[in-house]
Amino acid sequence: MKKRQIISILGSVSLSFCLALDMSAEEMMNHNSSKESHQGFQTIEQPVALRVAIAIGGLSLMAAQLWWFLGSKPKAQQAEIQDGVQEVTITVDGGYTPSLVTVKRGQPVRLQFDRRDPSSCLEKVLFPEFHVAEDLVLNQTTPVEFTPQTVGIFQFSCGMGMFHGAIAVEN
């Protein structure tokens, strides 16, 4: 829910930003052309380069937003039960995939963190609610185990809180 709000705020802010830029460009052009007619100047160039720059800027901003929106969509995955343990493999590469894992309450969970990202940012994974702080070895799979006792959504993150994932505990 929070993420959606951020997206909509970001969207409206950048949209108004684009509109404001476009309007100011238009204004400048109108201003220039009125100058032309009043003073008879023919040599004032229209700021074509400026217009193009604004168009490119706006488009790339929109593309960035789209990428961010699509890229940050959580990919939910239900843990599979094997020998009474709910197990799921999470790939650690520029974030966590899946970033949302659904598990059942009261049953042991084993998350297999497959770390492929050499960035030191992702060398630790923290589960504050489950009192877990695990070091992830590069190019290895590190299991994280706990048994969720309460229903809810519990976040996990890298050591610095830059990348996030969540465990949804259901009845």
Distance CA 18, CA 64 (A): 14
Distance CA 149, CA 152 (A): 10
Distance CA 163, CA 73 (A): 13
Q: Which of 6, 66, 153, 162 binds Cu ion (CB under 5 A)?
A: 162
> 3-state DSSP call for residue 112?
strand
Least distance in Å: CB of 158 to Cu ion? Answer: 3
Q: Which of 111, 158, 167, 169 binds Cu ion (CB under 5 A)?
A: 158
Least distance in Å: CB of 144 to Cu ion? Answer: 16
Number of residues that bind Cu ion (CB under 5 A): 4
> By CB under 5 A, is residue 153 in contact with Cu ion?
no
Q: Which of 82, 79, 169, 68 is nearest to 127 (CA)?
A: 169
Least distance in Å: CB of 119 to Cu ion? Answer: 8
Residue that the structure tokens 């465990």 belong to? 167
Least distance in Å: CB of 90 to Cu ion? Answer: 15
Q: Which is nearer to Cu ion, 125 or 167 (CB)?
A: 125
Handedness of CA 19, 20, 22, 26 (dihedral sign): positive
Q: Which of 56, 59, 63, 160 binds Cu ion (CB under 5 A)?
A: 160
Chain length of the chain: 171
H or E stretch including 46? none
Alpha carbon 18 to chain centroid, angstroms: 22
Q: Which is nearer to Cu ion, 137 or 151 (CB)?
A: 137
Q: Which is nearer to Cu ion, 47 or 159 (CB)?
A: 159
Q: Which is nearer to Cu ion, 12 or 155 (CB)?
A: 155
Q: Are 109 and 167 in contact (CB under 8 A)?
A: yes
What track of x and - describes contact with Cu ion for positions 106 through 135 (by CB under 5 A)?
---------------x--------------
| Site residues for Cu ion per CB under 5 A | 121, 158, 160, 162
